[in-house]
Chain A
Amino acid sequence: MSFPALFERTRAAGRAAFLPYLMAGLPGPDASVELFGALDEAGADGFEIGLPYADPLMDGPVIQAAGAAAIGAGTTIDVGLRVAGEVVARFGKPCAVMTYANPILRLGIDRFCGRAADAGVSALIVADLPVDEAAPFVAGAARRGIGMVLFAAPTTSDARLQAVVEAGPVFIYGVAEMGVTGERAAASEWAAGMAARVRAVTGLPLAFGVGIATPQAAAEAAAVADGVIVGTALVRRVLEAPNPAAAARSLREAGAAFAASMMRRPGASQPV
């Protein structure tokens, strides 16, 4: 299934899509596929699969540590894309891969997108790629039938938002917090306002991520968005688990709570 089809379905069902993030290759390549399986069972609607990068500017300490551990466990780009391919094949849900610009440029945008497409990846998220630098990535991904995800942050002006929409992303990643990835105690104070600004200029799906750490915060985001991305709160469970089986149990439990928070409350503002 593609992301547009997924969001159409979840919109029709009056809820947001739960899109958990895990790092490919953590704790090992095969084990990480099983952990995505645990989140599949917990009710994930799609997946964001991190391809580890050693200098992740947009990530806080938990995902930094996860990336370093995955690289240490031998997770190359090829291994990461193999994990993505198995996740797509086994669970049949749309998958986005998330990484940084340099590994893609090193391989070449076309080669990278070709390999990602062969793995069945639907979308590409590049954390240090603003719309200003995105054109060759959007074009290269489109040639392989992959959608680019572009960002809107609390600081993004309406003019920049317009440029993001015109670049043709498959969905918009709303950065819910000022700062890098991590767990925040409170729900985003920005989400509702940003969602309204995005809705005013486009019908493109909007998924919020960054800082969403609890089912309560996820429910707040789900009230105004088409999707909710939860990363650090889940990756931390993988890092803290004594073994992969314990990590899977922990993810099943946490994942189910997040999945249950995706229903929109009656009266909440609806996407157009």
Chain B
Amino acid sequence: MTMDRPDQRGRFGEYGGRFAPETLMPALAELEGAFEEARRDPSFRARLDGLLADYAGRPTPLYETERLSEELGIRVLLKREDLLHTGAHKINNTIGQGLLAQRMGKPRLIAETGAGQHGVATATAAALFGMECAVYMGTVDIERQALNVDRMEMLGATVIPVTSGAGTLKDAVSAAMRDWVATVAGTHYIIGSVVGPHPFPWIVREFQRVIGEETIAQLAGRVPDVVAACVGGGSNAMGMFYPFAGTGPDLVGVEAGGRGIASGEHGASLVAGTPGVLHGAFTYLLQDEEGQIREAHSVSAGLDYPGVGPEHSYFHDAGIARYVSVTDDEALGGLDLLARTEGIIPALEPAHVIAWLARERAELAGKTVVVCLSGRGDKDVEHVARIRGRK
């Protein structure tokens, strides 16, 4: 059974909660209250729906592939979140939370970003609503996603390099939270995935569930065998899975297998992790025997995260969804496959899902699979070219 909303303690089953510094607790309660009010306010919903349609480009197409389906022997439908303004599903959440911030009277937005897509989407919302914006980004990610750094700056945001830890998404989230502890009175933190302390995982899921709801409407009564999405923190996957849960299809989340699970260098928290606390929530994560968080690894900056949204942990344990992993090399193959059969260059994140289809084509033969194509690959072109240049 899915949970319409987390319980009083902000938990999905045993997962979630609010492991946050006391300074932030009143802001989390304020945010929960503001969201409760906003979701019941028809004018908020109308404003959000209007912007999602006219500004972001919703509904996105559900496209039935021809050459890819033929190549794999699987009927593959793509939910084209890659066609949204700014190039990924992240804009669904940043417009929603930007409107919430406006409602709460907070003039400054901050965000973390890994691949840069959430940072760009937040910078975009800030420009749209006339707000100040700072985006925390690990130095390693700044390197591998340089194009998105330029985009954020062009949109008027300040990109703040994060050098601590491995200089990737986990460290950027920590840095953004530290900023928020100091600036909470006038700043809203737009967290980019279904992670963090309650109410963030719930709010982000509510803003992303439009993906699954639209897909169900577009299927017009047809029920696919499988619905699949990539999982880093897991916002596109939760947005897709939540409306489908309990309606029939197998829900499959594809995590970053990196250099292989056995190598220890991966981002597969649900496939190979254990429960603990990261960034304010009790959830599956990658940690050592001492409870120190391990560095994740993925060729894809958006999946390079050692934790996962707590509702996915709940879906995992309750058997509502299952989770698999795909390696860096397989994902690069997935990118090529979609590019060459359909003329669509996917981001490296959803390329993991395409690669999973290709790997499991025997098991999936003849089935209908809906894939959440969460973002487009423009941001990865240079990164992939560099990887191939070294090979």
Point out residues on A near B: beta carbons under 8 Å: 53-55, 57-58, 60-61, 64, 68, 71, 76-77, 100-107, 127-133, 150-157, 160, 175, 178-180
Contact = CB atoms under 8 A, between A and B. Distances in A.
B178 A60 contact: yes
Nearest to B285: A102
Interface string B167-199: 000100010011001111100000000000000
Instruction: Name which of B9, B24, B181, B278 has the most chain A CB atoms within 10 A of its CB.
Output: B181
Contacts, number: 115
23 contacts: A53-B292, A55-B278, A57-B177, A57-B178, A57-B280, A100-B277, A102-B293, A103-B291, A103-B292, A104-B291, A131-B22, A133-B18, A151-B21, A152-B22, A153-B21, A154-B23, A155-B22, A155-B26, A175-B23, A178-B185, A179-B178, A179-B181, A180-B181
Contacts of A130: 18-22, 25
B interface bracket (residues with beta carbon within 8 Å of A): 35 or more
Contacts of A129: 19
Q: Which 3 A-B pairs have the closest CB atoms?
A: A106-B291, A179-B182, A103-B291
A261 B67 CA distance: 77
B120 to A, nearest CB: 25
Contacts of A76: 290
B277 A105 contact: yes
B279 interface: yes
B165 interface: yes
Nearest to B170: A55
B185 A180 contact: no
Contacts of A156: 22, 25-26
Contacts of A151: 21-22
Interface string B277-313: 1111010000101111100000000000000000000
B164 interface: yes
B17 interface: yes
B27 interface: yes
A39 B85 CA distance: 58
B181 A58 contact: yes
B173 to A, nearest CB: 9
Contacts of A57: 20-21, 174, 177-178, 181, 279-280
